[in-house]
Structures are given as structure tokens and as C-alpha cells.
Chain A
Amino acid sequence: MINPHPGLPELEYLKPSSLEEASKFLADHAGEARPFSGGTDSFVRLRDGVWKTSTLVDVKHLDGTNELSFNPNKGLTIGAAVTMNKVASNADVLKHYPNLAEAARSVASYQLRNRATIVGNICNASPAGDTIGTCMILDGVLNVHGVSGFYSVPLSNFFLGPGKTVLKPGDIVISITLPIPPKGMVGTYKKLGRNTIGDLSIVGVAVLGYPTHETKSGFRFRIALASVAPTPYESFKAEAVLSENPITADSIAEAAQAAMDSVTPIDDVRGSARYRKFMVRNLTREAITETWKKISK
């Protein structure tokens, strides 16, 4: 239910001067204070009355949140305040993680991407999050500051349910680090919406693939699905099909079927569960086929 009033509920705005101050405030006011960066998910929830938040804590200027840097040994670090547009147009991202740029570009609109952030997309923990799947299959690790100091958590361990993560009161995600991708990695993000560009996903499929000696087929594919499970979902069963068997139209179709069989979507305003399952199959097949074409070039 969209609140037609142009304002936000009564709330305070805090701009803390350090990570320590921010984490302490958030922990002391657990349940009442929330960190925010772009605000593109937060403001919607505040207006809908889903959150009863009395203080928004701006993290956009804290140490590390504005970093966008590539290190040839360590990988790519994206700070919590770095917008999706900045990521999608960054030269290092386009060179080493073009599938991430593609996923970021698929979100909403240009205006929204000038405020929305990858880290925010992850922390919002919607199963529909467009950039989450790609970050998962790139083995992203979140760098967090909490009341006890700094710690890391891999994305694979981060999500507990729709909108729920392992973060505790006082925790602020400072950045995400994506390790150097395997040599020869290529990938894509296929998104189905009610229109061609800009909608939330009915189904989203992130695929990457690379040559390797570690599988029977000589290749490894990673497949992550959006909007088809309580959390962003990596389909290991589908991946196994492509590790065990030579990559052909038939094995791709089999992997797509495995992806379809592995998901548990729900009916919602954007589509029925049945439709989503079939679309998972079709989009996965498309995404793998396109990735395979890129690898075989």
C-alpha cells in the first residue's frame, strides 16, 4: 500500500563521525535506528509503515564506504555508499566483472541507480535483488563493522530469509570484496519483468562459466536465481549437470530443467509460481547458452 503523502514518518537523521560511534548508536538503539545509504529501499518501507524506525543513520561518509577499487591480487572492493551507476560504468568492473555491470544496469531506472547501492541491495535481502546472485557466484565477501570491531561474512552464509540476514544490531556493512574471478570467466544476467526494462524481477538468472581442470566437462558453471525462493538461490544441482557432462544443447536443457525443479517460487502480484518455474527453465537455458557461446569464442 503506497502512502500518498509525500513525506516520511517522523524520524531523526544522524550523521555519525566514525564507525565506532555509528555501531554503538545502532546497537544502543536496536529496533529503532537503522543504517542507510541510498535510501531507495529504506524510504519505501518507512512510508509503508513496515518499519518503525525513529533514526536513520547515514553511513555514506564512513571509512571505507566510498571505496571502489580493483587490486590485481585481492579483487574488487565496492563500498557501501558506491552507487549502482558508478559500479556499472567503472572501467575495472567492465573489464574484470562485466556480468556485475550488466546486473547493476538492470536495476530500476537511471535516477534510482544514482542512489541505490550494491551493498544496500544485498542488505535489503530481497530474494528479487538483481545484483545479489551475481555477487554470490563471484564468491563475494562482506566486510562488516560491529560493536566488537571488524569481521567478514561470505555471501553464501549471509541470508536467512526474505529481508533477513545474519547482521546483528550495531553491524554496518562497509563494503563487499569480490575476489579475482577465475581465468576466462564470462557470464550474464537475464531478467524477466513485466516490462522490458525497469521492473522488479519476476525471475532473474545470473550465470557465469569458466574453463577448469577440476570438472569432468572441463568447465564450471555457477547459477544463481532471483525471485524463486525465500533467499537468492544458487542451484548446485543445475551446476552439477554442467560439471559432469559435456556442454551441449541437451546438457544445457537438462541443467535448465534441474534449475526449474530445484526452486520453490510463490504466487505474487508479478507472477504465479507455475509461470516462474517455467521461466526459470527458459531463462537459465538462455543464460547458459549465451555464457557458453562467450566461453567457446
Chain B
Amino acid sequence: MGFQRITLTVNDLVETVDVPTNMTLLQMLRDKLSLTGTKNGCTAGECGACTVLMNGEPVNSCMVLAAECEGATIITVEGLAKGGQLSKVQQAIIKTGGVQCGFCTPGMLISATALLARNTNPTEHEIREALVGNLCRCTGYVRIVEAVKEAAKM
């Protein structure tokens, strides 16, 4: 099996990584770059725990080959805070209490960040629709949806 050398930008840092051709973006982020905030929940593109921004759009990183990411710009949950300050969505989810075990949280934050970037004042339905691909087993979603509404107001 082959290896590929790829260069990409992750959380504003340029990284050059040698990846086996069957390695997913998720594995590369966690195992090669030690960015373990992004989680593996289902390995099937259904739960959203592995959601990252790729070229500005949320994707399930377990469903992307690292080899496909040459030249890509990736943002993970570790890249949301700027200059030591948590992002609006991060602050909001703490305020509303939308975190229990925290496993879905990185993916939720990424999806919510992407939603607010394309829709600055989403309705509740639009929020729920945008978060359809992020499953949570703990919270029942209410406080997560409240967090997105709160962040939109901030």
C-alpha cells in the first residue's frame, strides 16, 4: 500500500504529512497531528462526531481520505478559539449548559459555526436542520439549539 505526502493548512498552520493512502482525514488529524478533539463515533458518516471544516464547509472527516486533502484548509474544534478567547458558539454552549459527556460537542460546535457563517439569524427549524448530522445521546438537543440561538445574538 502506498504513501502520499500531502501539504495542507490545519487551524492556520501549514502541515506536511506522509499518510498511508487508506488513512482518513479523521485518523490523520488524531494520529498524525495529535488533534484529538475530533472524535470517531460511527465511522459511517452518520453521527457527526468527526465533523471538521474543510475549505469552509463542514464534512464528516471519517468519510474523507487524507490523500484527498492536498492544499485543503481544515479547521477543527481546537481552531475555534482565537487568541485564547473562546468563540461565540463555545461561550454560548457553556452558558446554556449544552455539554454533558462532551463527545458530540466538537462536531456540534463545528456544524453550528458553519451554520452561523452562512445564516446569521437562523430559525429554530434551520438550526435543527443544520445539526441533523450531529447526534447527541446525552442532552436531548434543547440546550444545544439554545446555544446556537444565543451565539447568533452575541
Contacts and interface: CB of A to CB of B under 8 A. Distances in A.
Contacts of A198: 132-133
B84 interface: no
Nearest to B51: A111
A85 B68 CA distance: 19
A20 B130 CA distance: 39
Given A7-B22, A8-B24, A39 B65 contact: yes
Nearest to A44: B44
B26 A43 contact: no
Contacts of B35: none
B23 A7 contact: yes
B1 A109 contact: no
A8 B22 contact: yes
Interface string B61-73: 0111101100000
A6 B1 contact: no
Main secondary structure of the interface of B (DSSP, over half): mixed
Contact of A112 (B2, B27, B60): B60
B56 to A, nearest CB: 10
A211 interface: no
B45, B48, B59, B67, most chain A CB atoms within 10 A: B45
Given A13-B67, A110-B132, A6 B21 contact: no
A294 interface: no
Contacts of A13: 2, 4, 21-22, 65, 67-68
Given A3-B43, A4-B43, A114-B57, A10 B1 contact: yes
Interface residues of A, number: 31
Given A8-B22, A8-B24, A11-B22, A112 B45 contact: yes
Interface string A34-75: 000011100110010000000010101000000000000000
Interface string A180-221: 000000000000000001100000000000000000000000
Contact of A6 (B24, B45, B48, B130): B24
B43 A2 contact: yes
A43 B63 contact: yes
Contacts of A7: 22-24, 27
A109 B133 contact: yes
Q: Which 6 A-B pairs have the closest CB atoms?
A: A109-B133, A198-B132, A13-B21, A6-B40, A8-B22, A13-B67
5 contacts: A7-B23, A13-B68, A38-B63, A47-B44, A109-B133
